[in-house]
Amino acid sequence: MIVEFLEYCGPAWIKNQPKWVPIPPVEIQCQSHCCSVKFVPLSLAYAKTGHTFQGQSAGPGHSIPCIIIQPGSSKMEKLCPGLLYMFLSRGTTIGSPNCRARSSIFFISDELTKDRIQNLTTTKTGEQCIKIARRTKWVNFLEKNNLPVTISVDKKQELLKWANETVITQDIVEKLLEDNSWRQSNSTNF
């Protein structure tokens, strides 16, 4: 079996194909040495982008036991604020000081430093990142133009009572979905 590893930088097995790596079969015998199994030691793996992994968890008891993160450069985080946090928050355990092998998060680069985690909003020169400045401007606008919601205690209690007592059955949901008069078109809009 020959596999092309795009990141491989070791000695070339075939001169004009330096990224090709031979994976020889492995033979393991049983404890009694009466039979053996021969296999190629490859594991099926897959990758997801951070956007497709939002809302999921990795770790013990989850369908994904661990995630391996390539955090990219600090410039990446400054262009996409919150992306690194989203990756870090997917893991349910970081192991223990004695055994990091039980962690559900692993990193494949040395770009993740303490300084990088503590300083996600400014550039090397100390200026605020453009995306952070825009987000701050937007948050300030929202806070300045926030309309106070005034609701009486009685009305709030009435709404809570309605929410606790209202039950929508599967039949009602199906009838609502079948009635397409409220839609703009006859097709389902996702």
Q: What is the pLDDT of residues 77-130, one digit of tens each?
A: 777 777 888 888 888 988 887 887 788 888 887 777 777 777 777 777 888 888
Q: Which residues pair with 119 in a beta bridge?
A: none
- Provide the pLDDT for residue 53: 81
Mean pLDDT of the chain: 82
Domain assignments of the chain as residue spans, ordered by start = 2-39, 50-120
In tens, the pLDDT along 127-169 reads 888 888 888 899 999 999 888 778 889 998 998 898 888 887 8
In tens, the pLDDT along 51-71 reads 788 888 888 888 888 888 887
- Provide the pLDDT for residue 185: 53
User: Cα–Cα distance between 56 and 64 in angstroms, integer?
Assistant: 9
The pTM of the whole model exceeds 0.85:
no
Q: Which residues pair with 122 in a beta bridge?
A: 128
- Of all residues in the chain, what percent are helix, strand and coil, respectively (each to 5)? 30, 15, 55
Q: Tell me phi and psi for residue 104, to 5 degrees.
A: -100, 5
When pLDDT is cut at 50, 70 and 90, the band that residue 182 belongs to is low
- Provide the pLDDT for residue 18: 92
Select the more confidently predicted residue: 33 or 47: 33
Q: What percent of the chain has pLDDT above 70? A: 94
**Residue whose entry in the numeric block shows the structure tokens 């400045």:** 133
- Please return the burial class of 50, using the count of CB atoms within 10 Å of its CB with bins 0-12, 13-18 and 19+: middle
Cα 1–chain centre separation:
32
- Quote the longest CA-to-CA distance of the chain: 81
The CA distances from residue 116 to 78, 88, 94, in Å, are 10, 13, 19
Nearest CA-CA partner of 87 in 58, 116, 130, 61: 58
Q: Where are the alpha helices (DSSP H) in 31-169?
A: 50-53, 74-79, 83-88, 114-118, 130-144, 153-165
